[in-house]
């Protein structure tokens, strides 16, 4: 399995936080891992070039000199839905181009983590969604659930949509996006039942990505290695 596609129940629920935590954990255990943010909406112009904050965090976590454009082939300035940003920029988001960038990273790294934008059905054009991009790459899908009010509905709908699309729903990650979320334990218990599987791991609330402990990174790496082994075994 050359990669994993990371989607989420919504925007702003910690997909990048989780992606970076996964990269850090895997690198700490000697795995050569790359990250991609194929489409980024919301960027700053630095020396005449647009840079997306999420993509920069991913690039920094990789710790290599990989070209930024390889990680983030589509970058738009306004923090709006990608299909609107692309229309305003006069750009067509093409999954084939993203796949080419993925394949280049795949040649150098053991594993490529591809972070989607928004939620599973977020539009990339009037006809194209994030789900279509995941299908193009044909990767197992991990769903990030931001544990907060409303997550039960969002997680249930997203997991059902992933499974209905025929993609490999490889598991979910609980991300405590808010400190002291009311009834967080009960929410997790319901999601274990509803999604028919426990979370791959739970990331506790932190103020910064780097504040995850070495033990937490080892746990993340172990769970991901088990996931990769299970996916490869099922594919044989």
- CA 161 to the chain's CA centroid: 16
Tokens describing residue 154: 């969002």
Q: What is the DSSP string of 154-215?
A: HHHHHHHHHHHTT--EEEEEEE--STT-TTHHHHHHHHHHHTTS--SEEEPP-SSGGGS-HH
Query: Which is it for strands 141-146 and 49-52: parallel, antiparallel or unpaired?
Result: unpaired
Pairing of strands 43-46, 49-52: antiparallel
Quick one: angle between helices 184-194 and 151-164, nearest 10? 20
Measuring CA to CA, which residue among 37, 40, 38, 120 is closest to residue 79?
A: 40
Q: In 3D, which of 206, 212, 209 has the Cα closest to residue 56?
A: 209
Contact, 171 vs 195, CB < 8 A? no
**Catalytic residue status for 204:** no
Of 15, 37, 49, 97, which one is the catalytic site residue? 37
Give the closest residue to 20 by CA, choosing from 162, 211, 222, 227. 211
* Cα gap 166→90, rounded to integer Å: 32
- Give catalytic residue positions: 37
């Amino acid at each position: 399995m050359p990669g994993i596609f990371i989607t989420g129940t919504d925007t702003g629920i910690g997909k990048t936080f989780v992606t970076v935590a996964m990269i850090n954990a895997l690198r700490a255990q000697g795995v050569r891992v790359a990250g991609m943010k194929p489409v980024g909406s919301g960027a700053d112009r630095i020396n005449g070039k647009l840079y997306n904050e999420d993509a920069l965090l991913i690039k920094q976590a990789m710790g290599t000199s990989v070209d930024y454009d390889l990680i983030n082939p589509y970058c738009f300035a306004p923090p709006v839905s990608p299909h609107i940003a692309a229309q305003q920029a006069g750009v067509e988001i093409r999954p084939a181009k993203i796949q080419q960038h993925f394949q280049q990273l795949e040649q150098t790294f053991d594993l490529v983590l591809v972070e989607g934008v928004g939620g599973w059905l977020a539009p990339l054009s009037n006809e194209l969604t994030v789900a279509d991009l995941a299908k193009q790459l044909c990767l197992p899908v991990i769903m990030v659930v931001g544990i907060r009010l409303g997550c039960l509905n969002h997680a249930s709908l997203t997991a059902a949509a992933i499974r209905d699309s025929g993609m490999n729903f490889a598991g979910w990650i609980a991300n405590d996006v808010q400190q002291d979320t009311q009834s967080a334990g009960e929410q997790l218990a319901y999601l274990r039942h509803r999604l028919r599987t426990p979370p791959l791991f739970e990331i506790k609330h932190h103020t910064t990505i780097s504040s995850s402990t070495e033990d937490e990174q080892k746990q993340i790496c172990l769970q991901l290695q088990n996931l990769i082994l299970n996916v490869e075994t099922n594919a044989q």
